[in-house]
Chains A and B, each alone.
Chain A
Amino acid sequence: MTKLFRIAALLLLTVFPAFAQNSPNDETGRIIALEHAWNRAIEAKDTKALEQILAPTFVGVETDGSLANKSAFLASIKDPSYQPSQTVYEDIRAEIYGDTAITIGVFRIRETQKGKRITLRQRFIDTWIKKGATWQCVASQVTLIPAK
């Protein structure tokens, strides 16, 4: 393959990702990248980015069992009283089922409560649906992992 053709092919795949025959590994990488983008968007209170990541039918279950739809979730992030904490993934894996993907993992959150620095660990499961070439999260649930 000539260098020019290789560049053209790369450009085509970048512009039209649907042309690519994506292997499950590519899709897994994409989903995990979206999970990281989600975290960055929360840290930056970037609801425009979150708007793209979450499907209109999105539902989220918080650690107290309460339920939020997409607009309630975005409003909670936008709320001036919401101070995002530092969140890192300890563990994350994805399982692809055609146009559906499940991610499961643990994130560690460092925050200050009543002047004390604490670390929380939460287990999450997210369900992603692919429409065209785009993945969006349709459901997310977090469960607190009790400290030992």
Chain B
Amino acid sequence: MKRPVSLGAILLAAAVFSAFAQNAATDEGGRVLGLEKLWNHAIEGKDTKALDQLLASTFVAVEIDGSVSSKSEFLASIKAPEYQPSQAVNEDMSVQVYGNSAVVVGIFRIKGVEKGKPYVHRERFIDTWIKRDQGWQCVASSATLITAK
């Protein structure tokens, strides 16, 4: 015979399920933020194989000068010998998960040397990630140089 389910048990189950659902969203958000960090390490190491896994085949990037790159153009720019990043870190990041997509907003600080000139940039970025069978992949990334004080 089935035991009658009390209201307390239903409420407890609802609370556990709700916490589980919230944790699931938080877990996914944490996963995406972890991938953002991997992306930075891959840039520092000019590791285009790792980037190839992180970026969707339809990936598009908008650079700080308003130019647009496809995935292959973006990877080629990282591979270019004149591109020498020394440090790539995110100062601040927040993620919003919408089912199978996630939007990350943050500030990216990059130090490096390009064409013999050292530079430090602070850029506001928005990345959009899509969850597929093989995991999360970034489909769009845009960056704007921070000039606001």
User: Once the chains bind, are A141 and B142 in contact (CB under 8 Å)?
Assistant: yes
Inside 8 A of B63's CB, which chain A residues have their CB? 143
Stretch of B12-20, B44-52, B94-102 contacting A (4+ beta carbons < 8 Å): B94-102
Centre residue among A57, A97, A98 by max chain B CB count within 10 A: A97
Instruction: Contacts A66-B124, A66-B148, A129-B98 known; list 5 others, CB within 8 Å.
Output: A67-B105, A99-B101, A104-B60, A138-B98, A146-B65
Find A97's partner among B130, B142, B145 (CB 8 Å cutoff). Answer: B130
User: Once the chains bind, are A104 and B140 in contact (CB under 8 Å)?
Assistant: yes
Interface residues on chain B, number (Cβ under 8 Å): 32
Inside 8 A of A125's CB, which chain B residues have their CB? 60, 62, 126, 140, 142
Find A102's partner among B96, B128, B146 (CB 8 Å cutoff). Answer: B128
User: Once the chains bind, are B62 and A143 in contact (CB under 8 Å)?
Assistant: yes
Contact with A along B113-126 (1 / 0, CB 8 A): 00000000011111
Q: Does A127 contact B (CB under 8 A)?
A: yes
Inside 8 A of B99's CB, which chain A residues have their CB? 99
Q: Which residue of chain B lies nearest to A140 when distances are taken between CB atoms in the complex? A: B126
Find A61's partner among B66, B144, B147 (CB 8 Å cutoff). Answer: B144
